[in-house]
């Protein structure tokens, strides 16, 4: 009886064995490729997060203090920089908030703001095409005002609403507070250069 049972067992053909081995090899290759792809994606994602955090912080505008240059909800890319120039839009850290303002004065500059809101740097009226409505705004400084050493005088473009260096609560900011200069706006895409502001 046992001999008969043994005789009924059929062995797989060489083609069937090769087919099964090929399936196993394919599965191993697929798993290896999947693991490699996921590893590359993780490395790319980590690099992107590091770049956006350390080199090119991405910020979102909150508020209206930079209108008409920037609008609430705009998303911007900034860049870490060791130097800022007049007129640069900079993302600034202040009391655990991120503000976006424009650099108006550097260390040692003498700032004056007239009753009509016109801004003078070292007795020269500066051209500000980005300001729609000039205003003294929320100002408690006495002019002329000299920018202290290692500090920068910053203003928002919406002079009526912006809380900035004109107000003693914020005052001039130190270089270490500058998170980055605005490079470009990524949303909405049809807009021009801008930055973030929560005041």
The residues assigned a catalytic role are 65, 101
Residue 62, both tokens:
């909150």
How does DSSP classify residue 52? I
Cα–Cα separations (whole angstroms), residue 108 to 49, 86, 122, 145, 172: 38, 13, 9, 10, 12
C-alpha distances (whole Å) from 52 to each of 46, 180, 199 are 10, 11, 23
Instruction: Categorise residue 51: left if φ over 0, alpha if ψ from -120 to 50, beta otherwise.
Output: alpha
- End-to-end CA, the chain: 93
Output the CA torsion sign for 111, 115, 119, 122: negative
Within 8 A by CB and 6+ apart from 174, the residues are: 150, 151, 152
Contact 74, 185 (CB under 8 A): yes
């Amino acid at each position: 009886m046992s001999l008969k049972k043994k005789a009924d067992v059929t062995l797989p053909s060489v083609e069937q064995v090769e087919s099964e081995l090929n399936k196993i090899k394919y599965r191993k290759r697929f798993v290896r490729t999947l693991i490699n792809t996921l590893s590359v994606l993780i490395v790319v994602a980590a690099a992107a997060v590091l770049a956006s955090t350390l080199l090119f912080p991405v910020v979102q505008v909150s508020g209206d203090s930079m209108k008409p240059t920037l609008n609430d909800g705009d998303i911007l890319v900034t860049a870490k920089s060791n130097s800022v120039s007049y007129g640069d839009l900079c993302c600034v850290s202040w009391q655990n908030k991120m503000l976006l303002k424009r650099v108006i004065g550097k260390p040692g500059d003498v700032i004056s703001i007239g009753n009509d809101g016109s801004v003078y740097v070292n007795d020269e009226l500066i051209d500000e095409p980005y300001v729609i409505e000039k205003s003294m705004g929320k100002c408690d400084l006495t002019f002329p005002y000299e920018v202290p050493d290692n500090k920068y005088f910053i203003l928002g473009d919406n002079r009526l609403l912006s809380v900035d260096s004109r107000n003693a609560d914020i005052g001039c900011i130190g270089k270490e507070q500058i998170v980055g200069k605005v490079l470009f706006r990524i949303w909405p895409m049809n807009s021009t250069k801008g930055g973030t502001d929560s005041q």
